[in-house]
Amino acid sequence: MLEKLLPVVDYVAMDVKCSLHNYPGFVGFSKTDDIASSIELIKAHAADYEFRTTVIEKFHTDDEMHKIGSMINGAKRHTLQPFLPREDLPGMEYRTMKRTSPDLLSRYRDIMAPYAEKIVWKGKQ
């Protein structure tokens, strides 16, 4: 479906939540080949695009960010977003988890810099 849509859309934003190895446990999605091929299709054929990662301090590590970087290597844009706890999140543990710190987002911006032309940091304090 994505391949058919790319010629007719102006912009694509794709969440890359974690490394492919961690998708089944973290997200509950096991078709990691589909994720990898979607990333490659977007990089090769999208008019404009970004990949986004919402950083969760308890999960994302320097190593995990490097693995995400390897997945999107050569991308136009990667956006880092802070995790924001909310009452409507499905997992109780996420409702009370603290917001991602600006210091961690800053460190991950530096880690991700070699992997994308532009790193965007949303939610700066």
Specify whether domain 2-121 bears CATH 3.30.1950.10. no
pLDDT at position 124 is 64
Tokens of 118: 């532009």
Does the structure show a pLDDT above 80 at 112?
yes
**Could you read off the pLDDT of 36-95 as tens digits, one per residue?**
999 999 999 999 999 999 999 999 999 999 999 999 999 999 999 999 988 988 888 888
For residue 23, the tally of other CB atoms under 10 A from its CB is: 18
pLDDT at position 38 is 97
pTM of the model: 0.92
Strand-by-strand arrangement of the 75-82 sheet = 12-15, 49-55, 75-82, 116-121
Q: What residue segments make up the domains of the chain, in order of their start?
A: 2-121
Q: What is the mean pLDDT of the chain?
A: 94
CA 20/CA 67 separation, integer angstroms: 8
- Torsion angles phi and psi, residue 81, rounded to 5: -125, 140
